[in-house]
Chains A and B, each alone.
Chain A
Amino acid sequence: MIADAGAASQLAWLGAGTAALLVATGMVAQSPAPVHAAVAVLGTMFLLRHDNRLLLAPPYGAGLLLVDDLAIRTMELSGIGEIAPDVIVARFGATMAVAAIGACLSALGALAVTAAVPRSVVLTAVGALAAVAAFVAIVLLVRRRFGPSAAEPGLAPSPPAPQASPSADATV
């Protein structure tokens, strides 16, 4: 047991180091992909825990979302010359709110997992329907955003103004 715990601890440190390295790489390269990879590594490391996994999963997921969001928003804002203070406050507030809601929903999921529900055909059908509904919802969302009907007129870019030409009597 002690040997297992020691190996897990080493793995945890290794994973944390790898994640930190990936985040730093993403910051330098201004790319979100390494940051997502770091979050994936941290999520995988959660499996190293052997106790209270269901209890800790919701705040862990919310924490990972915060790490991902804050790292990427830092990248986005680093390329901006001047930032109004309310921009940062609003962004941070929105992220915190979503993370909190996500944690609550995740906790509800944890409760559902722990509930001793007997297997039945009805429940299996409900589950399958929920999966199909989720798939259809995602498809509809993507179609609404990027389908042919999403081609809204919007504000067309204005044509470039003609170059100012000085007045001269003649040109050859």
Chain B
Amino acid sequence: MRLVNTRVFRSLAVLLIAGGFILSEQLRPFVPSRWGPGGIRITHLLNRFPLLFHVNDKAATGTPNLSAGSDALTAIKASLAAWGNIQTSAVRFADIQLTSVESPMAGDGTNLITMADTPANREVLGGDRDTGTLALTRLVFGVTNGKISDADILVNPRYRFSTTLDAGTFDLQSVITHELGHVLGCDHASALNDTMFFQIAEQSSYQRYLSPDSVAFVSFTYPSVDHPIPIGNI
């Protein structure tokens, strides 16, 4: 009997390991950002919330690559709200503050969103070439614990954006919402309809909204103490 149980146990263990491998390889609902051989998660400490973002003031007055009639600040606030209003997550954002800082400084602990056209921003984003890179997020983190100390979003001044889905523009709110997923430690998803899918079409706005996988990411990575995720077995 014990032999049978051992065999059953071994078989189950093999199945579980194989199943886990298949799931991790093919059915990843969301992809956490990881670092190093041990694959430590790159995340924020919960006491960093509410997270404060400074927004370069050129976004308020309008940059040359932003369509007339577009409201960048309202779009940025909406993006922050998308991630910050999940009841089952502890992620919260403070009201944005405007700043004259145009390019991120390393290790200053200031989280910056900038659309400013500066040599430094252009260099990181690929210069004048049509690289296709609309925006990048830089995370500064400790390699021993994976904790993020600074997160900055650079929007590429080479491409045209709008908040009104104008022809020939990319939707700023969709791009910022996607980048905020990176800010929280979420990597690219492989599903076409995911907030964290790594591509966006002109005039496309579906990435303004969090996909169920993105909601799961913030809920499991930064669980709310007051509203834990109700989980049942099915």
Q: Do these two chains really belong together in a complex?
A: no
Q: Which residues of A contact B (CB under 8 A)?
A: none
